């Protein structure tokens, strides 16, 4: 078993309600939840790897594939649609020279769409890593990206 996972589990325990926090801690250390990590977690929790994978893929903020160092998640709800999300997506794609779902060749950015991020009252919104950006315009989105370049 991976020493990071052993360390995390030694702090959190293996009660079923600790599964998600363990996954989140693995992601915070490794930027994603690998197949090996899911198998190790399953073994520690005495559940199937399929069950761990099912939990992991249910949540849009648990990534099971390697991503760029900075993950941009743009909200895909109708609130953001109505306030110009498409123009923001186009501006980001043009600036980074990638499409939604892709990672830049230098692995600096991954650009994803995600379900509601809870900022509908200040839409359109996106998150870069853990920082929320609201009331976006294409120009504001590019300024936000430049903070991470």
User: Is residue 102 within 8 Å of 111, Cβ to Cβ?
Assistant: yes
State the DSSP code for 47: S
Residue 145 banded pLDDT, cuts 50, 70, 90: very high
In this prediction, residues 141-145 reach a mean pLDDT of 97
The domain segmentation of the chain, as residue ranges, is: 3-58, 70-146
In this prediction, residues 25-34 reach a mean pLDDT of 90
Q: What is the pLDDT of residue 115?
A: 86
Residue 105's closest CA among 66, 147, 68, 146? 68
| Residue 1 predicted with pLDDT over 80 | no
Place of tokens 């953001």: 80
User: Is residue 3 within 8 Å of 11, Cβ to Cβ?
Assistant: no
Residue 15 banded pLDDT, cuts 50, 70, 90: very high
> In terms of residues, how long is the chain?
149
Q: What is the pLDDT of residue 134?
A: 96
The SS3 of residue 110 is strand
Prediction pTM value: 0.82
Instruction: Tell me the residue ranges of DSSP E strands in the chain.
Output: 70-75, 109-114, 126-128, 131-133
Architecture of domain 70-146: 3-Layer(aba) Sandwich (3.40)
User: Is residue 138 within 8 Å of 145, Cβ to Cβ?
Assistant: no
Cis peptide bond prior to 124, omega within 30° of 0:
yes
| Residue 116 predicted with pLDDT over 90 | no
| Residue 51 predicted with pLDDT over 80 | yes
């Amino acid at each position: 078993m991976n020493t990071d996972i052993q360390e995390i589990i030694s702090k959190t325990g293996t009660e079923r309600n600790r599964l998600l926090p363990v996954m989140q801690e693995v992601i915070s250390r490794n930027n994603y939840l690998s197949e090996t990590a899911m198998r190790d977690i399953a073994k520690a929790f005495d559940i199937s790897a399929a069950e761990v994978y099912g939990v992991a893929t249910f949540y849009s903020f648990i990534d099971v594939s390697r991503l760029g160092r900075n993950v941009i998640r743009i909200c895909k709800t109708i609130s953001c649609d109505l306030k110009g999300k498409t123009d923001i997506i186009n501006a980001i794609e043009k600036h980074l020279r990638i499409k939604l779902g892709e990672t830049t060749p230098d692995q600096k950015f991954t650009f994803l769409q995600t379900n509601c991020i809870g900022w509908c009252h200040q839409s359109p919104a996106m998150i870069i890593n853990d920082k929320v950006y609201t009331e976006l315009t294409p120009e504001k989105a590019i300024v936000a990206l430049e903070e991470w370049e």
